[in-house]
Amino acid sequence: MTEKMSIRMSGLGGQGVVTAAHILGMAAYKDDLQVTVNPFFGAEKRLAPAESYVRIAQEPIYERGEILYPSLIMVFHPHVITMGKSYTMPFFDGLEAGGTIIINSASALDLSEEERDNLAKLDAQVHYVPASEVAMGVSGTHLSTNIAMLGALYRIQQRPSLDALESAMVERFGGSKFVASGSTAALDDAVKEKFAKVSQMIEKNLEVIEKAGESMFQQTH
């Protein structure tokens, strides 16, 4: 992992963007890293834009709130880009030079020439991962899409560690009292209902993480 990461997660309501940020933050903390997590969403409804911001560093973090200049952007749904369902436009706005973008899509998106030129000027590393397909294929539910996205992040950064991610998932789904919002809590419950035991869900999620990493591909400008 680089000395620090500033991650902007952009997705749609119901995809677990807030949950993914919380799991990532807990995992980083378990790896003895400094972390701040800030969710941001408007109306709590399915398919409405949702964002979360995660800062991870080895030194104390004094910044809070929205990340304007991320080093890494995670796009949880193609509609964030193709239909402008985002609080940040264009989707790569503020990305640091040499930054990384991870997009949930089974194929490279048909970006405009202007978008491709701007990404090339930034020397952005654009990675695609079929997160929704991996989630459905491995765990039998699209509700694990957010875990697949964390798998793609892990494949690139190798931090937080896999052990820390597993521990964070156990804590999140295995009885933690954390509630980010009413809809997020309902989403967590829906995920749990898909499995007879939390341990089985965690095992499937680890498979999702591994498969997502294996399924990534990179787009050249």
Q: Residue 2: which pLDDT band, with cuts at 50, 70 and 90?
A: low
pLDDT (tens digit, 9 = 90+) per residue, 94-118?
999 999 999 999 999 999 999 999 9
pLDDT at residue 180 tops 70: no
| Contact predicate 164/27, CB 8 Å | yes
Q: Is 154 exposed, middle or buried (0-12, 13-18, 19+ CB in 10 A)?
A: buried
Using one digit for the tens of pLDDT, what is the confidence trace for 33-78? 999 999 886 555 667 889 999 999 999 999 888 999 999 999 999 9
Instruction: Give tens-digit pLDDT for 138-151.
Output: 999 999 999 999 99
So what's the pLDDT on residue 146?
A: 96
Q: Say what percent of the chain tops pLDDT 70.
A: 86
Residue 220: pLDDT above 90? Answer: no
For residue 177, pLDDT beyond 50: no
The pLDDT value recorded for residue 212 is 97
Q: What is the pLDDT of residue 53?
A: 97
- Predicted TM-score (pTM) of the model is 0.87
pLDDT at res. 14:
83
Domains present along the chain, CATH in parentheses: 4-219 (3.40.920.10)
- The 10s digit of each residue's pLDDT in 187-217 is 666 666 655 578 888 999 999 999 999 999 9
Residue-level pLDDT at 179 = 47
List pLDDT tens digits, range 122-132.
Answer: 999 999 999 99
pLDDT at 3: 72
Compute the mean pLDDT over every residue in the chain, rounded to the nearest whole number: 88
pLDDT of residue 91: 94
The answer to whether 75 touches 101, Cβ cutoff 8 Å, is: yes
